Chains A and B, each alone.
Chain A
């Protein structure tokens, strides 16, 4: 149980039986009046954003959230299947829930899946993922127009710019936080 003085940016609380994260927080208080705790909250299931103002007497339930290590298995009909590495349960996430993470999901990739109760609601990727280049134009030496980089397509279908010497079949490391090329993987 939290009370209003615990409220701060990043805190996760339960509102109307759904988990919310506080994305903006402001303490206000008219000199002689009561303290007001003004929050902007994001629903962790559907992303909806709400504004709420609380008073010091208000209390809040903690959201029952936990992260589990899981392996990515496959996707089918816009649903992504993962497997808990300890209890072998196989929860599904929708493509909206997976979002841009789909650019990095290759068979067997280990990720953290956020569970609200038993419901999977989010995914956290490792910061760096190694992926194979599926399609790349050959490096045209002396081609000054394309400059320092060229677009390539990864095995997941993700398109990004890499240095011109990267070839089809090469494995590269991508930073999942920025979506950018980091380095070529030395085999």
Chain B
């Protein structure tokens, strides 16, 4: 942890910001390296609006309301409309906003890298993730091994691939099936499984139960599971990816279920993202991923606290 990362009243703003200099420079180089990778690989960098009328109605992601519209929680819906309109390889690095998310690994306003590729499925996307992180690491001067929290994360391919079901069996106090039945999937994941993931090598945690599919396609040969994966490095959840669901009817049904669940929980129910649903029938089969840039910066900066890799946190404004 950096000196001055705690809010100590005796330390001035200048001193605090000066102490972050190395991390802020690293962060800038990281973002530059990411951008270079995607440009070099034929991706088009695009920008979509931060202010949108209808965020995806995901049950556990809350949008910040601004007047009659919302700050986007991710650029997913607009980027998929671009995919549907014939942009096959696109990426975006942007700020996203999620109400009430603040902790050592969370900022309500954070930086997301999101990219989509037509013709890919989630397995092909895993390969590209390996390639991207290794390329960025080399650009930053780390090579194949990143020192993190007294250990080293070895980036050599292939990274570990472990299904969610296996991870519950290996690290959890109960099976995935039992956790789902008891309604404590998230608790077991956060408390028992995540701390073990990606310590010596990055991990792809894949094949989530269908009830956690979000906007992912279900597996054709095993419809109880979704073609979804997450990347973990150093126990940090770094990215979430799908083979994208392109079935408009199915997506509409999921959104309607999610909206009812939000209503039941007393949460804000957003307008229905009608235009997104309408565009889905033209969306090519593709894979997409959202990666937390602040979290990746934490890995390279060897930081345990997200506060250490951003210039200001809300409490300092």
Residues on A lying within 8 angstroms of B by beta carbon are 5, 26-36, 38, 53, 56-57
Contact = CB atoms under 8 A, between A and B. Distances in A.
Contacts of B101: 27, 29, 35
Contacts of B102: 27
Contacts of B214: 32
A56 B100 contact: yes
Given A5-B100, A57-B265, A33 B189 contact: yes
Nearest to B187: A53
Interface of A is mostly: loop
B182 interface: no
A33 B187 CA distance: 9
Interface of B: 58-61, 100-106, 185-187, 189-191, 194, 212, 214, 230, 237, 240, 265, 290
Nearest to A32: B214
A33 B60 contact: yes
Contacts of B100: 5, 35, 56
A38 B265 CA distance: 20
Given A30-B186, A32-B58, A38 B191 contact: yes
A59 to B, nearest CB: 12
Given A36-B187, A36-B190, A29 B104 contact: no
Interface of B is mostly: mixed
A35 B191 contact: no
B7 to A, nearest CB: 12
Contacts of A28: 103, 105, 190
Contacts of A27: 101-104, 106
A36 B186 contact: yes
A25 to B, nearest CB: 9
Contact of B190 (A5, A30, A56): A30
B260 to A, nearest CB: 16
Contacts of B104: 26-27
A32 to B, nearest CB: 5
A34 to B, nearest CB: 5
Contacts of B230: 31
Contacts of B58: 32
Given A5-B100, A26-B104, A56-B100, A32 B60 contact: yes
Contacts of A38: 190-191
Nearest to B194: A30
Contact of A30 (B59, B237, B265): B237
Chain A CB within 10 Å, residue with most, of B59, B186, B191, B194? B186
A68 to B, nearest CB: 30
A160 B268 CA distance: 61
A34 B186 contact: yes
Given A30-B186, A36-B187, 12 more contacts: A26-B104, A27-B101, A29-B60, A29-B101, A31-B240, A31-B290, A32-B58, A32-B61, A33-B60, A33-B185, A33-B186, A53-B191
